[in-house]
Each structure stands twice: as structure tokens, then as C-alpha cells.
Structure 1
Amino acid sequence: MASAISLCSVFVVVLVLTQWVNSEPTQDKQALLDFLSKAPHANRHQWNTSNSVCNWIGVQCNSNQSFVYSLRLPGAGLVGKIPANTIGKLTQLRVLSLRSNLLSGKIPSDFSNMVMLQNLYLQDNAFSGEFPPSLTRLTRLTRLDLSSNNFSGTIPAAVDNLTHLTRIFLQNNGFSGSIPRISAVNLTDFNVSNNKLNGSIPKPLAKFPTSSFAGNLNLCGGPFLSCNPSTSPAPPPQNPPAVTVGKPKNRSTAAIIGIIVGGVFAAILLFLCIRRRSHHPAKFRKPSAAARAISIVEAGTSSSKYDITGGSVEAAERNKLTFFEGGNYNFDLQDLLRASAEVLGKGDVGTSYKAVLEEGTTVVVKRLKDVAATKKEFEIQMEALGKIKHQNVVPLRAFYFSNDEKLLVFDYISTGNLSAGLHGSRGSGRTPLDWDSRMRIALSVGRGLAHLHLPCNLVHGNIKSSNVLLRPHHDACITDFGLNPFFATATPPNRLAGYRAPEVLETRKVTFKSDVYSYGVLLLELLTGKAPNQQSLGEDGIDLPRWVESVVREEWTAEVFDAELMRFHNIEEEMVPLLQVAMSCVSTVPDQRPTMSKVVRMIENMNRSETDDGLRLSSDDPSKGSDVNTSPAESRTPA
């Protein structure tokens, strides 16, 4: 009996723990719903109450979903005051970003309840009033950004209580008085420029550059002149006595009129200069250190940096990213500009960057170059590309258009591209792509391309191995599709001639048939292990298709296959049928090339006899990927 009671107790405890782990933070969810219902906002953030709060856009929970860990709503069109007893109830919040909105008024006093908060981003709004006293109680803060608002009054000495601060940004406000003594042991960034501060700069802050203090009334010490009364400018004299030397001379009427006209003209010029400066404050402000360091906007486009990183609300409205449905991203252009960026590659249409945002999200940003399209034409094409959904096509998540910059945002795939997998670091210690992997890549790319052609009626226009991204188990997906309308008049670079159909080199127009040709070259690249350029073939004036054709004509078919593949037993008879498909794709006569749908069916038929190859479709439509989770084929044993 006791044993049965004990077992029941254990079962109840396990059940309770399981329900607790799988539950969601209902109090945090209600607080966010209250916030959204009381704060006017754009339609972009319509949280579905039937879904878990942890799945809402801009919301992130901790690992066991017991509380909301971060709330990020930058550029969400939030307007007016932050309602009390809403966000302040998120007592376990670590990250809060409400920047680049239209929020105004004072910061609610209940912000002091968020004692676990570490990062607070409130810049580029219209908040007013004194420095929020509630923030001085958030002793775990490591980053505080109140820049580009309308705060006034003094900076309280209680800021020194925030001993974990590493970055504090208060620039572009109306703070007055002196700068309090703040311990700068952990501070790496400090900025109070463009305020109304005066007095001496505390010694702990003297290590920061002039730009951290520029644009104030009268600061001294630190990077400025020492606070010595003798170096202070003398006050202007009040009511200076009139000085008369001798008898005043009579002036002519014309001279008097000239003096009056000149004075009026000078006054008008002075008024226009002052007005122009007051209407364009962003042009006289230096961008932040993060904005200056961003590598997405490269050297030579400094003017676009100022346009893109302008701090005004109007600039934020003009420079919003346009997102498509299906993604879970919640960031804006400023996030991208502040991200750490790494060049992934430079192609014929632009440069691709790996961008890691502050909260850890990683995306790929493609910066297009020499786009010959109007904004309307660009947006229409982007809308068409953003609707494409297929497992073998990398989805376009967002885009940005301005006169100086055209950016595309894609998912980041960490496993790299086919070009690196085939040609990178050939030699000892390298694991080559086996035959099964190459077949899986060939079929995945074919399916993605067939989907673009058939349902989407879209020409890819830039098929090459560096535009084929590899997922785990070598399921592939294609990127950089549908961009040729923006570069229709551009001459194809010589280094890409190996992928381009002969007619494209002459007419500069891509078609479905030219895509088939490029795909055929890609198949030959998979089979031979050779890049489709003249240098890799060791012969001048010959491309990969013609080289393969010449070798096969001499009945040396085995000589064309990659030596890394020939190490595996009994695969040559499987490679020959794919070689035949590839050669039909690279026919010099476009009408003799098969359609992509037919190519996919031919490749699938090569694998019908295999039961576990993971290559077969679940539908007769070759444009649709398989929904069945199958296991990859076993790799053959090398000789």
C-alpha cells in the first residue's frame, strides 16, 4: 500500500513538473497584450493570442519558456506614451528594445521592477522629461541608450549606481548642468554630445574622445582645454560707451541707403543659415562609432551612411526594411548597420555579407551594385521573389531600396556553398563529396530550378556552384535568383562565361533554356570536379562542355570523371546516365535542350531502383519537394 502511494506521489510530481516545463508565462503574455492594446502601433505586430507568447514576433523566452527573456520592437510604429503596468510587469526581462518608434512622454516609474534588465534601447524616439529615475535602480544594466530623444534636466549622480554599465549613450538630448562623476572602470563607450552640458569633465571620463562631448555649451577638461579661468573667454562688454573721435562726418543719402541694404541682406543670409541648420540637424551630427564602423556600407559611400543612419523619426520611416511573410525576423535597417559584418563573397550582381545582429541573429545581406531600375520596378520584382516558397530555394526575407543602397536579406546557411565543397582545399585531410551526396545536390538544385520555371514563371539567370548552398545531408538550395532584370544591359564577366549559354553571351538575355544550359554545366562540374573555366581545363579557348564532349568522342569517358569519385567502387555505371543528361542540357541549340521538369524526371528515374536513397519525390510534380523524411544513402566504400 505504501509502495503504491509512493509511486502515485512520484507520478504526480513528474506530471506537475512536466506541465510546468511545457507551460508558457501567462502573466508576461497578459502584460504584453495590455501593452499592445493600449499603445497605438502599426499592423505589423498583430500577436495571435491563440499562439504561445514565446512564438510571437519580437518576443523571446528562456529555454524552458517560463518567462519572457527579451522584447524587441524596433521600428514597429509604436506611438504615444508607454502605458503603465504593462511592460514594467516583465520582471525577468533581460533585453528591451523600443527604439526608432514614435514613443513620447516620460518613462513609466514601474520600469524599476525590471531588476534583471541588462540591455535597454530607447533611442530615436520622442521621450521627454528628466532622466528617468526608475532606470537608476536597474543595477544589472550593461548597456543603456537614451540618445536622440527630448530628455532634459540634469544627469543624476545616481547613474554611478549602475556599476555594470559598459556602454551609455545620452547624446542628442537637452540635458543640462554638469556631468556627474561616473566610475568608468567598465565603460567602453560613453557619449553625451549635443546636449547643454557645462563645467568640467570628470577625470574618470577624460579617456573618451572629443566626439563624446562635442556640441555642448561649455565643457572643459578631458580632451578639451583645462578648466583654467585665464583660458575662459571674456564675457562681452555690456553697454559699451560710444566713442567719438572728432566731429562726425556727413554721409550722403546713397551711402546711407547702401549701408541699410547691406545690413538687411546680411541679416537675411544669417536667418536662412540658422533656419537651414535647425531643419537639418542630422547633417551636422557625426554618426555613432558603431555606424562609422559598419562594413556593409563600404568605403566610397560616406554620403549614404549619413542618409541611412540619420537619427530623425522621418529618416527612420523612409529607411524601413520591407519584410515578407514567413520569416520570424524582427529588426530594422539600423540593426543591420550596427551588425558585425563579414564578406562571404563578391559576385557579378553584388557583395554578400554575413551579418550578426546585436541579439545574436545571423542573416545574409546582399548589397546589389549598379541596379538599373526605378523604385517601383524594384519593389514589383521583390514582391514576386518574396512569394516564392520551396525547400530548395533560399527564401528572400526582406529588402531595402534607396537611391544609394539596394539590400536583400536572406537566411544564413552555415554549411557553405557547393563551390567551396567541390574545389576548396583539395588534398590530404579533405573529405570529398561522395557520389550519393552529389546526386542529392543535383536533384535538389533541379527541383528548385524547376519550381522557379513552372509555377513561378521565373528565370533564375545566375546558376553557378557558389549560388548553390548546402544544408546538412547535402540537401541543396539555390539563391541569387530573378535579379537579371536589374542588370539586363550589363556585359557578363569573362570568368562566368563557362556557365552561360552561347546565346546569352551574344544577346545578354537569359531564358528558361539558358537556365537549363547553366544547370547542365553545374552537373558537369559535379561529375568532373572541375570549375567551368578555361584555366582549370589546361587548354585555351575551350569551355567545360566542349572539353567533356571532346574526351567522350575519343571514347575515354572514364577520363572525365572526378578522380575523387573514382576511388569508390561500382559507381561509374551510375555516373554515365547523369553525364548523358548533362550533355543534353548543354546543347548549343536551345530548342534541343530539355525542360527542367523533364530533367528532374530523368534524374529521378535513375534512382527508382534504390529504396533508401532519399531522392524520390512524394508527388508526380517535379517542382514540389518531398515532404517525407528519408534517411540518406549509405556511402560506398572507397577502393
Structure 2
Amino acid sequence: MNFQFYLCTILIFIIRITNIVHSLTPDGLALLSLMSAVDNSSSSSAVFSDWDENDPDPCGWTGVSCDRNSSSTPDPPPRVVGISLAGKNLQGYIPSELGSLTSLRRLNLHGNKFSGSIPDQIFNATSLHSIFLYGNNLSGSLPTSMCSLPKIQNVDLSGNSLSGEIPKGLNQCKQLQRLILARNNFSGQLPGAVWPALMNLVQLDLSSNNLDGNIPEELGELKSLSGTLNLSFNHLSGKIPKSLGDLPMTVSFDLRANNLSGEIPQTGSFANQGPTAFLRNPLLCGFPLQKDCTVKSNAPPPMGVNSSNTGARPGHKGLSPGLILLISAADAAVVAFVGLILIYFYWKKKDHSTGCSCTGTIKLGRHLNKNRKSRFCGCFNGSLNNDIETDSEKGSSEGGEGDGEGELVAIDKGFSFELDELLRASAYVLGKSGLGIVYKVVLGNGIPVAVRRLGEGGDQQRYKEFVAEIHAIGKVKHPNVVKLRAYYWAPDEKLLISDFISNGNLGNALRGRTGQPSTSLTWSTRLKIAKGTARGLAYLHECSPRKFVHGDIKPSNILLDNEFQPYISDFGLNRLISIAGNEPSSSGGFMGGALPNIKPTNQEKINNYRAPEARINASRPTQKWDIYSFGVVLLELLTGKSPDHSLSTTSSSNEIHDLVKWVRKGFEDEKPLSEMVDPMLLQEVHAKKEVLATFHVALGCTEGDPEIRPRMKNVSENLEKIGT
């Protein structure tokens, strides 16, 4: 009787398996192995509720995407190309059977509780190009067999328990673009031979591991790197290699919390780094840290030093080592006590308005976390990624007028991130001006943004006015205008988040650090910049919701990307800053742009791009102001000379009109074009007619009588005709 029962059971099982095999595609069977590898729970039941073994087409299952045209044969079975079951609280292991999905391109299982090692067999899925397994409990070593994948580009295994050394076999991952191994248990030294082979790598994050030894010189050969090179929170030691200065200028370093020593190099991309990049390395010195490498220690001479060198009497044995240590300790204690008293009174006075003690930094202000119901204080030190300190950690419970709920609002619905992500992101100062401090911030996804701090003024009554103005600016969408993406409002802090434009501004390109224009500014490039700027300005004047007046057009407010496409920045900021309770200044020009750490010069304060009528006190900006300023920018593009060209030969009363008057006089005296045009353009003889036509457009824009100046729409149309 029992034998017959078992026989029937086996037959039923065989029939069931046969039916599944006939009904499901091979890809479907491989997917069922994943469902079987996950522990049964309420969450997994909900995820796999539509994973039906009797369904011949797995392409409709939750988290599965397919390509039905992956084969040239007629009526091919659909092939699974993507698995995305992120953040589903799934617990189990990753089955090796997933390697049979030969068309699988994306495997996304991040934010679950998968454990065990990463099976080598899954890399038999030869079409894989993206593996996202971060935020699980995976262990074992980093499998170098992933480098056998011919198309592998993105690997994010952060937030697991992987261990062992970084394998030298990574040098076979030649197509790899992003390697993120942060927050694991990797140890040992970084292999130098790996990095020169990874010529396509754009992001490298090895932070929060147990790596030690020196930073290899070969990291400087990652020429495609962008975003952040993150080696923070390890045990790396020795000097920072100068070769890192050879990395692209847009790369941010994060070398915090290591044991690095010596002077920070000052070459290449090191010039763009803020102090936060090097914090918590006690033995580091030099710019941008406020620690001079020439300062010598006042420690007592070591034991055994000849008494004749210490001023002791001949034959005297000198102080005992124990007494020397005791005296040194007492001296250090006294100095530390006095220093603490001075620091306490200084920052007590400094921070009276917010109660937020950010020693040596710029205060971000306090914000209210809706979920935890606790205030926290974020502090900047040339960047945004400093520690967040909750009141529970500080033991503080004070209130005050600065308290209130901060709100981070995304204007662009496709652009979203959390405030905590913004505060912890790697950043450095781009510039400071009367329009606020601007930081470049690299978010967790590697996307850089520009963050402008408007200040700490403004009351809640003006919040609606601020929001209305922000949303009017946010509606401006033009390929030649910097896009505002989000804003943050709190009673003691206002932030604007916009696109980061990577190639600096027109002022830098024209004059550079040496005063010489960039060799990349050919005539065709300059004409491209002029046309794009004119299109953007015409849009602001004619088509934007408010028909904006910029009021401060100049080269530093015309940003350039890597293709020299221009972007107008800083429009509408004067009004926002006025609402925020600060006095606006005309020395801005950093919103969204890549700039070095600079201070406004006297020349910038004069602002020689303004129209004659703009010098009258209490006059309101008009579109005619913008047209005149644009005309001066055109003349600068044509001549290579700044508006204060001939200050030494003219009276100060005429200095604003110097460049305009100089060009007009040149045409009146019928001087050769070669005496007025930028010498760098003389080689492009074919552009003579185009240059001459552009001069006439510029002279029309810079007419002294604003009523005679053309509309920006007409200026743009006239420029578009040149060179076509």
C-alpha cells in the first residue's frame, strides 16, 4: 500500500515537472530558481505573487523585463534582459542558475537581505553590463570572473560584508565604467597595476573599508575619471602621490579619515579641492588645510642629546626623562585649557543666532527631521559633506527663533534626492560673491550639481514670495540657460540647486589665469557662444513666464560646457537674495559653473559691462540694459580685450565706455580690421566678413540711447544669419 502511494506521488511529480518544462521557457525556469532561493515570507509572497510556473511567458512577472526581438529566427521566444527586485526585503541567496540567462543585461537586487557569496556561475550570463547588489549581506571575496564579461560597465557591491584584498585580476575589466565597493571589509594594499588598464573608468569608490599601505601612483592614470575619487575612511598611509594632480580638473577627491602624511601637492587638479577632502589626516599639512608645513614642533629634545647643545652646565646630567615628560604634559595641558577657553568664548559669540556650534566652519543651520523628530546641525568647511550632529548626540535641547521645519523641494520632477544625501555628498567651493557661496556637490549617483547658499536671513512671512519667485525661475527651460533643479528653505538657511556646467565660464576662457585667451576659442567657437547666448537671452526677454530681465550679463555669467555650448546663469538671483534678507551685489556669476576659489576683484566690482543708464542710482534694470551688456560681451569676443582696455589713456569718467569708444573710434578712423580684432583670429582669414558683420551687431547693441538699441530677438536673428 505504501509502495503504491509513493509510486503515485513520484508519477504526479514527474507529470508536473514535465508540464512546467513544456510550458515555461528556459529563461522562466532560471527565474524560478531565484524564487526558490528566497525564504518564504509575507514580503516575498507579495513580490512573487505573479511568478506562475504555469505561465509560458515570464515577461509579465514582477521585476522582469524582456526583449522579444533578440533573435533573427522567426517567432523567437522572448529573452529576459533585466531583473529588478530592489528594496523588497528579500532574504536568501543568489542562485547560480541565473548564469543561464545569456541575454540578461541588468541584475538589480540591491537593498535586500541576500547573504552568502556571489556565485561565479552568474557571470556565464555573457550579456551582463550592470550588476547592482549593494545594501545586502553578501560575503566572500570580490569575484574577478566578472571581468570575463565582455560588456561589463557598472558594478556596485557597496554596503555588504565582502572581504579579502582588491584583486589584481581587475585589470581585465577593461570596459568597466563604475566600480563601487564602499562599506565592505576589503583589506590589504591597493594594487598599482590594476588602474592603468581601466581606461574607461569614470567612478571609483573604495571608501569605508580596511585598506592600508600607500596610495598607488598609478591612480593618476585614470584619465576618464569624473565625479569623486573616494578613498575615505580607510587606513591608507604615506604621502599623497603627486600623480593624482594629473586626473581631470572636474574630479573631486575624498581622502578623509586615513593616516596620510606630508604636504598636500599643489599641482593640477589639487588646486580645485576644498579642505574637506583631506580632513581627519592629522599628519597632513599645506593648502587648503589651515596647517603650515613649515611650523616645527616645540617638543623637548630626545633622550641622549649632548648637554652642550641644550645649554646645560658641563658635567651636569640634566633632567631625567620622566621629569621631562611630566613637564611637557603639564605644558600641553595648560595650553589646551587656555585654547579651549578662547574657542568657547569665540564660538559662543559667533553662534548666538542659531545655537549651532560649527567650529571653524560656516553654519548651515538646523533642520527638523520629520521621521525622527530631532533637529540636526550641518556644517560646511568649504563644502557640504560634514558630519550631521543630532541634538540627542549633543545632549542639547535648546530652542529659539531659528527653529523650524526645512523643506527640500525638487522643481524638476525627474530630479530627486534626499537632504541627507545633499549634506553628506562630496563637495568643494567654486566661488564666493555678493550673490552667495557656491559649491560643487557630487551626489551619490555621481551626478554633480551646483549649490548656492543665499544666506540666513528672511522670515516665514516672505516664504510664499520666495516660493513664487523660485517657481517662476524654475519654469525657464532653454538649452542655453542654466536649469534650476531644486531649492531648500528654512528660517535660517536657503539653498538653490542647479545644473553644474563643467567647463568654467567665458571670462576664464577669454582671459584665463595668465591673461591669455584659450587656444580653443577659434572664431567658429566664439560665434557659437555668441549665438547660443543671444538665443538664451532672447528667450528670457520674450518667451519666459516673467519676461525676465537679467540685469548682469557679463562673461562670468556665461558658463560653458565641454563642447563650448553657452549657458546663461544667475538670472533672478537679485530678487531672491533680497527676499532672503541680504543685500544683492553685482559680483556674481558662479551659479552652476566650474570656477576656482576666488574673491571678487576691483574690476568685477566696477562691472564695466553695464549700460550708461544703469549707473543712475535707484534705476530699475531693463531689457535694454541686457542688450547693451551683451554688445560689450560681443566686442570682447571680437577683440579679446576687456571693457577697461585703455584705462591708462582715458579719464576715469569714461572707463565704463572704454572698449565701446575704442571700437567706435577705430571704425570712424577707418583703421584696418587687423588692428582691432583679436590677434588669435587673424589666421582665420575666411572669417573676415563674418567678423565684420558681428562688429556691426555689437555696435548696434551698445548705442548710447537705449531706444535705438534693437530687441534681443532681432539681435539673435541677425547673429543666426552670420556664417550660414
TM-score using structure 1 length: 0.52
Contact 1:338 1:358 in 2 (8 A): no
Matched, 1:500 2:616: no
- Please state how far the C-alpha of 1:379 moved relative to its aligned partner: 1.2
- Please state how far the C-alpha of 1:166 moved relative to its aligned partner: 6.5
Contact 2:455 2:492 in 1 (8 A): no
Matched, 1:549 2:664: yes
Paired amino acid for 1:525: E
Q: Distance in 1 between matches of 2:568 and 2:383?
A: 23
Contact 1:117 1:138 in 2 (8 A): no
Q: Distance in 2 between matches of 1:87 and 1:362?
A: 36
Paired amino acid for 2:115: S
Q: Distance in 2 between matches of 1:401 and 1:569?
A: 54
1:272-321 Cα distance to aligned partner (Å, 9 max, x none): xxxxxxx99956x8x7xxx667633599xx9x9879x999xxx9994443
Paired amino acid for 2:683: R
- Give 2:410's match in structure 1, choosing from 298, 323, 341: 323
Q: From the superposition, tell whether residues 430 and 296 of structure 1 become closer, same or farther in structure 2 (CA, over 3 Å).
A: closer
- Please state how far the C-alpha of 1:407 moved relative to its aligned partner: 1.8
What residue in structure 1 maps to residue 508 of structure 2? 420
Matched, 1:515 2:626: yes
Q: Distance in 2 between matches of 1:144 and 1:572?
A: 60
Matched, 1:594 2:710: yes
Report the secondary structure of 1:377's partner residue.
Answer: helix
Contact 1:399 1:407 in 2 (8 A): yes
Contact 2:410 2:416 in 1 (8 A): no
Matched, 1:366 2:476: no
Q: Distance in 2 between matches of 1:186 and 1:386?
A: 44
Q: Distance in 2 between matches of 1:515 and 1:35?
A: 58
Q: From the superposition, tell whether residues 338 and 453 of structure 1 become closer, same or farther in structure 2 (CA, over 3 Å).
A: same
Paired amino acid for 1:556: K
Report the secondary structure of 2:422's partner residue.
Answer: helix
Q: Distance in 1 between matches of 2:45 and 2:643?
A: 56
Q: From the superposition, tell whether residues 136 and 481 of structure 1 become closer, same or farther in structure 2 (CA, over 3 Å).
A: same
Matched, 1:345 2:442: no
Paired amino acid for 1:458: F
Identity %: 32
- Please state how far the C-alpha of 1:492 moved relative to its aligned partner: 3.9
- Please state how far the C-alpha of 1:185 moved relative to its aligned partner: 4.4
- Give 1:469's match in structure 2, choosing from 559, 564, 571: 559
Q: Distance in 2 between matches of 1:500 and 1:340?
A: 37
Contact 2:485 2:498 in 1 (8 A): yes
- Please state how far the C-alpha of 1:571 moved relative to its aligned partner: 3.0
Contact 2:421 2:443 in 1 (8 A): yes
Greater mean deviation of Cα atoms: 543-552 or 412-421: 543-552
- Please state how far the C-alpha of 1:403 moved relative to its aligned partner: 2.7
What residue in structure 1 maps to residue 637 of structure 2? 526
1:169-218 Cα distance to aligned partner (Å, 9 max, x none): 9xxxxxxxxxxxxx98449759xxxxxxxxxxxxxxxx9xxx9xxxxxxx
Paired amino acid for 2:566: A
- Please state how far the C-alpha of 1:467 moved relative to its aligned partner: 1.9
- Please state how far the C-alpha of 1:581 moved relative to its aligned partner: 1.5
Q: Distance in 1 between matches of 2:482 and 2:430?
A: 16
Q: 1:59-70 counterparts in 2 under 5 A?
A: 66-67=81-82
Paired amino acid for 2:615: L
Contact 2:48 2:62 in 1 (8 A): no
Contact 1:119 1:143 in 2 (8 A): yes
Contact 2:134 2:157 in 1 (8 A): yes
Q: Distance in 2 between matches of 1:534 and 1:429?
A: 15
Contact 1:297 1:305 in 2 (8 A): no
Q: Distance in 2 between matches of 1:426 and 1:366?
A: 28
Q: From the superposition, tell whether residues 66 and 318 of structure 1 become closer, same or farther in structure 2 (CA, over 3 Å).
A: farther
What residue in structure 2 maps to residue 105 of structure 1? none
Contact 2:158 2:184 in 1 (8 A): yes
Q: 1:599-610 counterparts in 2 under 5 A?
A: 599-607=715-723, 610=724
What residue in structure 1 maps to residue 443 of structure 2? 357
What residue in structure 2 maps to residue 482 of structure 1? 572
- Please state how far the C-alpha of 1:535 moved relative to its aligned partner: 7.6
What residue in structure 2 maps to residue 405 of structure 1? 493
Matched, 1:575 2:663: no
Q: From the superposition, tell whether residues 429 and 582 of structure 1 become closer, same or farther in structure 2 (CA, over 3 Å).
A: closer
Unpaired runs of 5+ in structure 1?
1-19, 39-48, 55-63, 72-81, 98-107, 121-133, 146-158, 170-182, 191-206, 212-278, 611-639
Q: Distance in 2 between matches of 1:348 and 1:407?
A: 15
- Please state how far the C-alpha of 1:459 moved relative to its aligned partner: 1.6
What residue in structure 2 maps to residue 296 of structure 1? 383
Q: Distance in 1 between matches of 2:527 and 2:543?
A: 24
Contact 2:412 2:486 in 1 (8 A): no
- Please state how far the C-alpha of 1:65 moved relative to its aligned partner: 10
Q: Distance in 2 between matches of 1:416 and 1:52?
A: 43
Q: 1:127-206 counterparts in 2 under 5 A?
A: 135=137, 144=159, 167=183, 185-186=210-211, 189=233
Q: Distance in 2 between matches of 1:358 and 1:577?
A: 48
Report the secondary structure of 1:571's partner residue.
Answer: helix
Contact 1:530 1:537 in 2 (8 A): no
Greater mean deviation of Cα atoms: 316-325 or 417-426: 316-325
Report the secondary structure of 2:567's partner residue.
Answer: strand
Q: From the superposition, tell whether residues 68 and 305 of structure 1 become closer, same or farther in structure 2 (CA, over 3 Å).
A: farther
- Please state how far the C-alpha of 1:495 moved relative to its aligned partner: 2.5
Paired amino acid for 1:547: W
Q: Distance in 1 between matches of 2:711 and 2:692?
A: 20
What residue in structure 2 maps to residue 443 of structure 1? 531
Q: Distance in 2 between matches of 1:389 and 1:357?
A: 23
Report the secondary structure of 2:449's partner residue.
Answer: strand
Q: From the superposition, tell whether residues 34 and 350 of structure 1 become closer, same or farther in structure 2 (CA, over 3 Å).
A: farther
What residue in structure 1 maps to residue 115 of structure 2? 112
Aligned residue pairs: how many? 405
Q: From the superposition, tell whether residues 67 and 162 of structure 1 become closer, same or farther in structure 2 (CA, over 3 Å).
A: farther
Contact 1:491 1:508 in 2 (8 A): no
Report the secondary structure of 1:389's partner residue.
Answer: coil
Contact 1:320 1:332 in 2 (8 A): no
What residue in structure 2 maps to residue 8 of structure 1? none
- Please state how far the C-alpha of 1:348 moved relative to its aligned partner: 3.7
What residue in structure 2 maps to residue 335 of structure 1? 421
